[in-house]
Structures are given as structure tokens and as C-alpha cells.
Amino acid sequence: MGAKPGIRYDNMEISVGYNCVVLIKQVPDTKRITGEAMNDDGTVNRGALPAIFNPEDLNALELALEIKEEYGGTVTVITMGLPAAAAILRESLYRGADRAILITDRRCAASDTLATSYILSCAVKKLEYDIVICGRQAIDGDTAQVGPQLAEKLGITQITYAEKLLELENGHITAQRNLGNGWQQVRGKLPVLLTVTGEANEPRVAAAKRLMKYKNAMTAIEIGQQIKPENPSADEETLAGLVERKCGLLKDKGLLIEQWDLDFLEADLGWCGRSGSPTKVHRIQSVVLAAKESKDVEPTEQGIADMVHELIEEKTIA
């Protein structure tokens, strides 16, 4: 199957394909809470949950990969998070992403959706892009706010709840949005930001060949963690030199996961982290599955008839 190049003529310049930037997030697996993740008081021990690739972000990545296969272009994946979030960047490389970027910086901590979208916008602005793709929402917060806020920060059109890409031609996109109780087809000029729903596609699994190659892809932090124990007597300066050298080697092989901080992004620190976040947490309460006043009903004809009788007597059922 040959690729169909998406040739466009913008301002007399000819470009082939589309540059897609995909925003992804590592999240605790809130959907699979097992006994081990439960505290004795019935609350959830968040630290015990496995960290996963946010499900709808996999749909976002899949859409970007499909666009690249169909029209040509590039797929760049960005995540903001702890150094451990490099794991989902590697997973993206296994699936076919061309470039992976980790934004990690202590000063990002406590960012709400507004500060997060600001930081992400600084990163996306460093890249050439035609289509920015996000999952509709992340399963830890379920807010669905970062996509639209990022679109606003970039000053581009948003197409939320995208479930189908219908057409890409001559710098325009046509997509179908899932409205819950129906659908809507819209057309707009690139660049746009799409948020993608879980129904959009079946995300591919890692390709074995790519996995063998990219399992060695690392961030500078990970390289440092590897090099330090290997050189116990080396001072900071020597270590930094070793890390830099290894970064260079990996970069030549296409195995370096780029690591960006707020200084590199030239971000205004007033709009990042706690100071950039208008929303603050007043209180967190754990949900305890409380036992109410309850009755055990015998699963016999008599037991069930008695229950039905009681509900009719008290007029719960007519």
C-alpha cells in the first residue's frame, strides 16, 4: 500500500504530509482498582496503582500514526510529568512515533489545567505543526479541559470529541465529532487541535522490531541514573560530562528522548505551577463505601415475594 502524499500549496511553498504533535499523559490506572490498592478504611491507596498510558491518548497517537501513513509527515509526542513518564514516550516510539519529548521540571508541580496548557503551549510553539492531537480526557482528573485550553493558548481552532477523520486536503481538515446524542461533521483550515474519543480507532500494539530498537531510548535523567552507579568515585562534573557524551551517542542513533525544562521553554514562571494555577484544593475527602442500613434477602420465592410486598406497602413501587 503506497503512501498518498498530502501535497499542499501554501504561499507558493510546496509541503508534503502533515506534522502531527500528540500530547500524552501518564496516569494511575483508576479503572482497575484491586484489593491491593485499597486501604483498610475503604479508601484507595493511590500510590499502589500502576501507572499507564492514558487510554484516550493512545487513540490520539493512533490517529496521528494513521495520518502519517496515509499522507506522510511526522509524529512528535510530548508529555509533561515526572521523569518516570518517559515510559509512555518509549511506548509511543514502539508504536511508530518519530520524536519524543519529556517536559519535566519541579516548577511544573501543582499546575492546574490552565498552567498545564500554558506550559504545553510553550512546548508546541517550539515545533512545526499542522495538527495537534490530544485524548479527550485523562482518567485521573476526567476534566477534558487541557485540549480546549491548549487550543486557545496556541490561538488555533479546536475540534473536540473527534471520532472520525473524514478528509485532509489542501490545508483543510474535515472531521466528525461525537456529540453523545448524535454527530456533527465540520471542516476547518489547518492548523487545528483535535481531542479524540475512545471510539475513534483501535490503537495498535507495539511493533516488535521497533520495541527491540527503542527499548534503549532514554532521557538524560535516565542516563544519569544509569551512569552514576557505574562510576561511584566520579565527581559531579565528570558525571555531567559522561551523561552529555552518552546523550550525544543516543541522539546519533535516534534513541534520545529529549528532555525540556521551563528554562528551555522560555516559559513565564508566573503562569506555571502553583502561581500559574487559579484553582486550589480546599479539601480532599476519600470516598468510603459506607454500608447503609441493609437487609439480606433470601434468594427464595418467599424471600423475594416478601421484599416485593414490603416495597409495595411503603409505596416505593406502585
Partner 1 sequence: MIDVNREGEVWVFAEQHQGKLEDTPLELMSKARQLANILGVKMAAVLLGSGVGQIAKKLIQYGADKVYVADNPLLEHFQTNSYAKAICQFIEKYEPQIVMYGATVTGRDLAPRIASEIKAGLTADCTDLQIGDHTETGNGKLHKNLLFQVRPAFGGNIIATIINYDRWPQMATVREGVMPMPEPDVSRQGQILKGQVQLSDADLPLTILEEHKREKKVDLKAARVIVAGGAGVGSKDNFKLIWNLANVLGAAPAATRAAVDLGFIDNDHQVGQTGTTVRPSLYIAVGISGAIQHQAGMSDSQKIIAINNDPDAPIFQIAHYKVLGDLNEIVPKMIKALKEKTIKEEVAIAK
How far, in Å, CA of 298 to CA of 280, rounded? Answer: 49
Under 8 Å between Cβ of 87 and 47 = no
Contact between 149 and partner 1 by CB under 8 A: the answer reads yes
Interface residue with partner 1 among 18, 71, 94, 161 (CB under 8 A) is 161
Interface residue with partner 1 among 15, 69, 127, 145 (CB under 8 A) is 145
Contact between 31 and partner 1 by CB under 8 A: the answer reads yes
Under 8 Å between Cβ of 92 and 190 = no
Report the nearest approach of partner 1 to the CB of residue 64 (Å).
21
Site string for partner 1, 184-203 (x = CB under 8 A): xxxxxx--------------
CB closer to partner 1 out of 12 and 281: 281
Contact between 159 and partner 1 by CB under 8 A: the answer reads yes
**Which of these ranges, 17-25, 172-180, 211-219, 229-237, lies near partner 1 under the rule CB under 8 A?**
172-180
Number of residues located near partner 1, criterion CB under 8 A: 76
Contacts of 211 (CB under 8 A, 6+ apart): 94
Interface residue with partner 1 among 126, 183, 212, 238 (CB under 8 A) is 183
Interface residue with partner 1 among 4, 46, 125, 245 (CB under 8 A) is 46
3-state secondary structure of 289: coil
Report the nearest approach of partner 1 to the CB of residue 308 (Å).
4
Interface residue with partner 1 among 1, 12, 208, 284 (CB under 8 A) is 284
Contact between 109 and partner 1 by CB under 8 A: the answer reads no
Interface residue with partner 1 among 72, 148, 171, 224 (CB under 8 A) is 148
- Write out the E strands in 58-128: 73-80, 99-103
How far, in Å, CA of 71 to CA of 185, rounded? Answer: 21
Determine which helix (DSSP H) or strand (DSSP E) holds 171, and give its type and residue range: none
Contact between 140 and partner 1 by CB under 8 A: the answer reads yes
Q: Among 114, 63, 56, which Cα is nearest to 88's? A: 56
CB closer to partner 1 out of 233 and 285: 285
Report the nearest approach of partner 1 to the CB of residue 12 (Å).
23
Under 8 Å between Cβ of 20 and 64 = yes
CA distances from residue 34 to 38, 40, 184 in whole angstroms, order as listed: 7, 13, 39
Report the nearest approach of partner 1 to the CB of residue 290 (Å).
7
Contact between 41 and partner 1 by CB under 8 A: the answer reads no
How far, in Å, CA of 161 to CA of 11, rounded? Answer: 31
CB closer to partner 1 out of 13 and 301: 301
How far, in Å, CA of 238 to CA of 316, rounded? Answer: 76
First-to-final CA distance of the chain: 63
CB closer to partner 1 out of 235 and 301: 301
Interface residue with partner 1 among 157, 204, 210, 227 (CB under 8 A) is 157
Helices 146-154, 113-124: axis angle to 10 degrees equals 50
- State CA 255 to chain mean position distance: 21
Report the nearest approach of partner 1 to the CB of residue 211 (Å).
28
Contact between 297 and partner 1 by CB under 8 A: the answer reads yes
Torsion of CA 218, 124, 117, 141, to 10 degrees: -50
Place of cell 512528535: 76
